[in-house]
């Protein structure tokens, strides 16, 4: 079973809408080495696990559960970068100005035609899609669950290293703070996951020497990542379980980066962050409630708020 807590694993930072930045970030969500693949690959590997090497299964499962929150974080980041981009463009062009209605003759979504992926406006309502940066739909064929423990761990290390490499490239494509905050967090966490799978292989006889992490870079060129590394999140792994996990049997001691750092197993991250709410988008008919339906929604919201207040205060 799974339980949910309405928190983000990292905050989404405010900046201007940027549809091009949103589009390159799609590679990190629905690309061949993106978060949707890591989530599904580790999930299938842990569900299909055979034999009694439970600590290895628990380690793979721990990362699978964390990847769900990465999918959530990057999806919301892409949506944040898209949200309001059509209104911003039409205000800049000053041919339309502010509007509350999308009446006949309106070209509120005029800018969508010129975007890298107009599906962000036609199919989604200025929101993320399960596709890569070239618009290809995510595919289950990306998922590798070989049934062979060593091969699965090697495959996972390649996946994390490639994901981290691609995110370092995406970081250099935009200085937008919304994009950089999320990408930097994912670069730091990919490093932790490289350590997790490398440590598991180390426990089976591998000596990594000095090849990890992949890629290596000058921290001064990635200041947002360095801040997270200084806070130690690139050496932590969480298991997110209400019952017990054997994660710490493998994820402990010297990091396989062999740089003098230690691995830190944890139940959950030290901090959790608010999930931002998304405004209505009249030009996208989202959520598309008319006055009558809105009244019913308001009544329900009122009811819910009143019930919650009653439960808390007894009044
Ligand atoms: Mn991830």
Number of structural domains in the chain: 2
- pLDDT computed for residue 161 by the predictor: 98
Query: How far does residue 167's CA lie from ligand 1's centre (Å)?
Result: 11
304 and 224 both lie in a single domain: no
Would you say residue 12 lies in a domain?
no
pLDDT in tens, the chain (315 residues): 999 999 999 999 999 999 999 999 999 999 999 999 999 999 999 999 999 999 999 999 999 999 999 999 999 999 999 999 998 887 765 444 444 556 667 899 999 999 999 999 999 999 999 999 999 999 999 999 999 999 999 999 999 999 999 999 999 999 999 999 999 999 999 999 999 999 999 999 999 999 999 999 988 899 999 999 999 999 999 999 999 999 999 999 999 999 999 999 999 999 999 999 999 999 999 999 999 999 999 999 887 777 777 777 766
Query: How far does residue 209's CA lie from ligand 1's centre (Å)?
Result: 24
**In angstroms, what is the C-alpha Rg of the chain?**
22
Q: What is the CATH number of the domain that holds 195?
A: 1.20.1260.10
127 and 269 both lie in a single domain: yes
- pLDDT computed for residue 95 by the predictor: 45
* β-pairing verdict for 262-266 and 253-254: antiparallel
Query: How far does residue 239's CA lie from ligand 1's centre (Å)?
Result: 14
- pLDDT computed for residue 308 by the predictor: 74
302 and 235 both lie in a single domain: no
Q: What is the pLDDT of residues 97-152, one digit of tens each?
A: 444 556 667 899 999 999 999 999 999 999 999 999 999 999 999 999 999 999 99
- pLDDT computed for residue 97 by the predictor: 42
Query: How far does residue 86's CA lie from ligand 1's centre (Å)?
Result: 30
Would you say residue 6 lies in a domain?
no
Ligand 1 ion: Cβ-proximal residues, 5 Å cutoff: 35, 38, 67, 70
105 and 133 both lie in a single domain: yes
100 and 239 both lie in a single domain: yes
Question: Which range of residues forms the domain containing residue 309?
Answer: 289-315
271 and 182 both lie in a single domain: yes
272 and 225 both lie in a single domain: yes
Would you say residue 8 lies in a domain?
no
29 and 169 both lie in a single domain: yes
279 and 305 both lie in a single domain: no
User: Do the Cβ atoms of 183 and 171 come closer than 8 Å?
Assistant: yes
Query: How far does residue 38's CA lie from ligand 1's centre (Å)?
Result: 6
134 and 30 both lie in a single domain: yes
Would you say residue 2 lies in a domain?
no
Would you say residue 278 lies in a domain?
yes
Would you say residue 126 lies in a domain?
yes
- pLDDT computed for residue 34 by the predictor: 98
- pLDDT computed for residue 243 by the predictor: 95
Query: How far does residue 8's CA lie from ligand 1's centre (Å)?
Result: 14
133 and 257 both lie in a single domain: yes
Query: How far does residue 70's CA lie from ligand 1's centre (Å)?
Result: 5
- pLDDT computed for residue 305 by the predictor: 76
Query: How far does residue 88's CA lie from ligand 1's centre (Å)?
Result: 31
Would you say residue 190 lies in a domain?
yes
Q: At what angle do helices 149-171 and 19-30 cross, to 10 degrees?
A: 170
56 and 190 both lie in a single domain: yes
Would you say residue 27 lies in a domain?
yes
């Amino acid at each position: 079973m799974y339980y949910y807590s309405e928190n983000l694993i990292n905050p989404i930072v405010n900046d201007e809408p940027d549809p091009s930045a949103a589009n390159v970030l799609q590679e990190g969500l629905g690309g061949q080495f993106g978060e949707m693949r890591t989530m599904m690959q580790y999930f299938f590997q842990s569900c299909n696990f055979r034999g009694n090497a439970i600590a290895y299964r628990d380690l793979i499962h721990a990362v699978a559960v964390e990847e769900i929150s990465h999918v959530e974080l990057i999806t919301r980041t892409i949506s944040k970068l898209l949200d309001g981009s059509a209104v911003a463009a039409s205000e800049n062009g000053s041919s339309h100005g502010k509007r509350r209605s999308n009446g006949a003759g309106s070209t509120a979504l005029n800018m969508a035609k010129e975007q890298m992926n107009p599906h962000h406006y036609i199919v989604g309502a200025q929101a993320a899609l399960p596709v890569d940066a070239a618009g290809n739909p995510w595919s289950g064929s990306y998922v590798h669950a070989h049934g062979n423990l060593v091969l699965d761990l090697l495959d996972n290390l390649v996946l994390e290293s490639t994901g981290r490499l691609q995110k370092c490239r995406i970081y250099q494509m935009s200085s937008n703070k919304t994009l950089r905050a999320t990408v930097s967090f994912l670069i730091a966490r990919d490093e932790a996951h490289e350590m997790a799978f490398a440590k598991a292989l180390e426990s089976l006889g591998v000596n990594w020497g000095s090849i990890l992490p992949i890629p290596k870079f000058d921290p001064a060129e990635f200041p947002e990542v360095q801040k997270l590394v200084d806070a130690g999140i690139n050496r932590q792994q969480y298991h997110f379980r209400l019952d017990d996990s054997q994660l710490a049997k493998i994820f402990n001691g010297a990091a396989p980066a062999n740089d003098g750092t230690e691995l830190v197993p944890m139940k959950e991250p030290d901090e959790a962050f608010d999930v931002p709410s998304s405004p209505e988008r009249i030009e996208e008919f989202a959520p598309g409630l008319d006055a009558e339906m809105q009244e019913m929604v308001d009544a329900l919201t009122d009811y819910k708020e009143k019930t919650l207040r009653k439960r808390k205060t007894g009044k």
